[in-house]
């Protein structure tokens, strides 16, 4: 499968990995939108949030727990951070392997663009 994030997971494309376990990897976004911008990516390939199954509930929960843990490690948990998942092109999704964006280190605005 020609998927950028599957290639990063397999080590075929380099990335600055900051975390890995049996279910997810996390690495620096190549085009950071904040002083801290990490991507939390499941090892399992799922195209979009629309393709999520009930059986993936634990995985999604684990992704959120990973975001929380990384935010604490990055020391942005108290000041605040944002966790985002874009679904499909209209929301800005460009890589069709689900991922959470973890953004922090600056004041966030609402609504997002
Ligand atoms: P999306 O737009 O799908 O929500 O998020 C995809 C993210 O992947 C973007 O923020 C983009 O900067 C990042 N990205 C795209 N290509 C690469 C890459 O080769 N390496 C890394 N580390 N991030 C990438
Ligand atoms: Zn993939």
Pairing status of strand 81-84 against strand 36-42: unpaired
- How remote is the CA of residue 99 from the centroid of ligand 1, in Å? 9
With a 6 A CB cut-off, is 47 part of the ligand 1 pocket? no
The CA–CA distances, whole Å, from 43 to 33, 70, 76, 104 equal 24, 17, 25, 24
The CATH topology of domain 4-104 is: HIT family, subunit A (3.30.428)
- Tell me the two tokens of residue 24: 């997810």
Find out whether the beta carbon of 43 lies less than 6 Å from any atom of ligand 1.
no
Give the pLDDT of residue 113: 81
> Beta partners for 103?
37, 82
pTM for this structure? Answer: 0.98
Query: Does residue 41 sit in helix, strand or coil?
Result: strand
For 30-89, how does the pLDDT look when each residue is reduced to its tens digit (9 = 90+)? Answer: 999 999 999 999 999 999 999 999 999 999 999 999 999 999 999 999 999 999 999 999
Q: Which atom of ligand 1 is nearest to the CA of 27?
A: 22
Edge-first strand order for the sheet with 81-84 is 17-20, 24-28, 36-42, 100-104, 81-84
pLDDT digits (tens, 9 = 90+) for 89-113: 999 999 999 999 999 999 999 999 8
Residue 26 reports pLDDT greater than 90: yes
Round to whole Å and give the CA distance between 112 and 62: 25
The number of the ligand nearest the C-alpha atom of 88 reads: 1
- Measuring from atom 16 of ligand 1, which residue has the nearest CA? 30
pLDDT at residue 93, rounded to an integer: 98
Any idea where the domains of the chain sit in the sequence? 4-104
Report whether 40 contacts 63 (CB < 8 A): yes
Residue 1 has pLDDT above 80, yes or no: no
């Amino acid at each position: 499968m020609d998927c950028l994030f599957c290639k990063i997971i397999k080590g075929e494309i380099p990335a600055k990995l900051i975390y890995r376990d049996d279910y997810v990897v996390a690495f620096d976004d190549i085009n950071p939108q904040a002083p801290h911008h990490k991507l939390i990516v499941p090892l399992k390939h799922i195209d979009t949030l629309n393709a999520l199954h009930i059986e993936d509930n634990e995985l999604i929960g684990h992704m959120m727990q990973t975001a929380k843990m990384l935010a604490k490690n990055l020391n942005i948990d108290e000041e605040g951070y944002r966790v985002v998942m874009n679904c499909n092109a209209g929301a800005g999704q460009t890589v069709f392997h689900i991922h959470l964006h973890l953004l922090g280190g600056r004041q966030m605005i609402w609504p997002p663009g």
